[in-house]
Amino acid sequence: MNPKINVKGTEILSQNWFVLKKVTFEYQKKDGTWQTQSREAYDRGNGATILLYNQQNKTVILTRQFRLPTYINGNESGMLIEACAGLLDKSNPEDAIKRETEEETGYKVSKVRKVFEAYMSPGSVTEILYFFVAEYSKAMKVSAGGGVEHDQENIEVLEIPFSEALQMIETAQIKDGKTIMLLQYAKINNLI
C-alpha cells in the first residue's frame, strides 16, 4: 500500500443498488505535509466489454439501450449505442464477457482476446473495465439476444458497417467511452 495515504475512516452512504462510500484519508503532499481529504467512491464491481467484428463483411455488433444517467444529463432519448458489456459478477473477465455477449447480442463466441484494461471514471467509480475483441459470423448467432429479463434489460442488437460506426463517433451518435475506445483500437490495429 502507498505510505503517503492513510485511510482514517469509511462511511457507507448507500447500499441501494451498489455501494457508495465516503472515505476520509490523509494524503502526504510533495512538500512532506499531510492534508486530510474526503471523497466519495461508488463501488459497482468490475466489468468487461467487447467489440464483435466481422472482417469479411467489415461490420461490428453494437447494442442500443436506455441509460438513465445520460438521460438526466442531456441525452434527450436516453438511448445509447454501446459495445456489449457487463459486470463480472464474481466470474473472471473472459468468462464474464462470453456470458454477456451471448445474453446481450445472441452471439456465442468461444475465442475472445483481451486487448487492454482501464479505469473509466477514476475520480468517483472504483470499476476497472477489461476490454476484449472477437470475430463473429452469422453461424455464431444462437438467439435474438436483448439481455436477460431478471436484469430488466431491453437491449437492441445492431449490426453496423465499421466505417459507419467510426463516422457515428464524429457525429456524436456514439458517445460511449468504452465503445469509442474499442472502435479506435480496431481502426489503429487494422482489425477490419
pTM of the shown model: 0.93
Instruction: List the chain domain ranges.
Output: 5-43, 47-188
Give yes or no for a contact between 100 and 92, defined as CB atoms under 8 angstroms apart. no
pLDDT at 147 over 80: no
Q: What is the pLDDT of residue 150?
A: 62
Which amino acid, residue 75?
N
Q: What is the pLDDT of residue 151?
A: 65
Rounded CA-CA distance 42/20 in Å is: 4
Q: What is the pLDDT of residue 79?
A: 97
Rounded CA-CA distance 118/131 in Å is: 8
- Pull the grid cell for residue 65: 439501450
Q: Which residues of 93-120 are buried (b: 16+ CB within 10 A; e: fewer)?
A: beebbbbbbbbbbbbebeebeebeeeee
Mean pLDDT of 94-107: 97
Q: For residue 145, what pLDDT band results from cuts at 50, 70 and 90?
A: confident
Architecture per CATH, domain 47-188, reads as Alpha-Beta Complex (3.90)
